[in-house]
Amino acid sequence: MSDPTSDKPAIDFWFDFVSPYGYFASTRIDALAAAHGRSVRWRAFHMRSIMMDKLGQTTPLLDTPLKGDYLKRDVPRMARWFGLPMRSGGLANFRSSNASRAFLLIEERDAAAAKRFAAGVFESHHAKATPPNTPEQLLQIATEQEAVWPDLDLAAAIPTEAAKDRLRRSTDAAMAAGVWGTPSFVVDGEMFWGADRLGLVDEWLRRGGW
Amino acid sequence: MSDPTSDKPAIDFWFDFVSPYGYFASTRIDALAAAHGRSVRWRAFHMRSIMMDKLGQTTPLLDTPLKGDYLKRDVPRMARWFGLPMRSGGLANFRSSNASRAFLLIEERDAAAAKRFAAGVFESHHAKATPPNTPEQLLQIATEQEAVWPDLDLAAAIPTEAAKDRLRRSTDAAMAAGVWGTPSFVVDGEMFWGADRLGLVDEWLRRGGW
- What single-letter DSSP state applies at residue A9? P
User: How far B61 CA lies from chain A's nearest CA (Å)?
Assistant: 9
CA of B59: how far to CAs of B25, B64, B65, B179, in Å? 24, 6, 10, 19
**Whole-angstrom Cα distance, residue B170 to residue B23?**
19
**Whole-angstrom Cα distance, residue B210 to residue B201?**
11
Q: What percent of chain B has pLDDT over 70?
A: 97
Pick from B67, B178, B196: CB nearest A70: B178
Q: What percent of chain A has pLDDT over 90?
A: 86
The whole-model pTM stands at 0.93
A173 in contact with B, Cβ within 8 Å: no
Beta bridge pairs of residue A11? A40
Report pLDDT for A58. 78
Report pLDDT for A151. 97
**Chain B residues lying within 8 Å of A191, measured CB to CB:** 70, 73
**Whole-angstrom Cα distance, residue A136 to residue B84?**
53
Report pLDDT for B5. 54
Q: How confident is the model at residue B146 (pLDDT cuts 50, 70, 90)?
A: very high
Residues with Cβ within 8 Å of residue B16, at least 6 apart in sequence: B22, B44, B45, B46, B47, B48, B96, B100, B182
Q: How confident is the model at residue B6 (pLDDT cuts 50, 70, 90)?
A: low
Question: Are the beta carbons of A179 and B80 separated by less than 8 Å?
Answer: no
Pick from B66, B196, B200: CB nearest A197: B196
Question: Are the beta carbons of A55 and B77 separated by less than 8 Å?
Answer: no
- Give the tens place of pLDDT for each residue, A94-131: 999 999 999 999 999 999 999 999 999 999 999 999 99
A3 pLDDT above the threshold of 60: no
- Mean residue pLDDT across chain A: 94
Q: What percent of chain B has pLDDT over 90?
A: 86
Report pLDDT for B2. 47
Question: Are the beta carbons of B70 and A180 separated by less than 8 Å?
Answer: yes
- Give the tens place of pLDDT for each residue, B10-30: 999 999 999 999 999 999 999
B107 pLDDT above the threshold of 50: yes
Report pLDDT for A103. 98
Pick from B67, B178, B199: CB nearest A66: B178
Burial class (CB in 10 A: 0-12, 13-18, 19+), A179: buried
A111 in contact with B, Cβ within 8 Å: no
B89 pLDDT above the threshold of 90: no
Rg of chain A, C-alpha, whole Å: 17
**Whole-angstrom Cα distance, residue B200 to residue B184?**
12
Q: Residues B193, B181: contact at Cβ < 8 Å?
A: yes
Which residue of B lies nearest to A78 if distances are taken between CA atoms? B210
- Give the tens place of pLDDT for each residue, A149-196: 999 999 999 999 999 999 999 999 999 999 999 999 999 999 999 999
Q: Residues A55, B67: contact at Cβ < 8 Å?
A: yes
User: How far B177 CA lies from chain A's nearest CA (Å)?
Assistant: 9
Between A202 and B58, residue with greater pLDDT: A202
- Comparing CA positions, the residue from A163, A186, A168 lying closest to residue A53 is A168
User: SS3 of B130, please?
Assistant: coil
User: How far B208 CA lies from chain A's nearest CA (Å)?
Assistant: 13
B180 in contact with A, Cβ within 8 Å: yes
A76 in contact with B, Cβ within 8 Å: no
**Chain A residues lying within 8 Å of B194, measured CB to CB:** 196
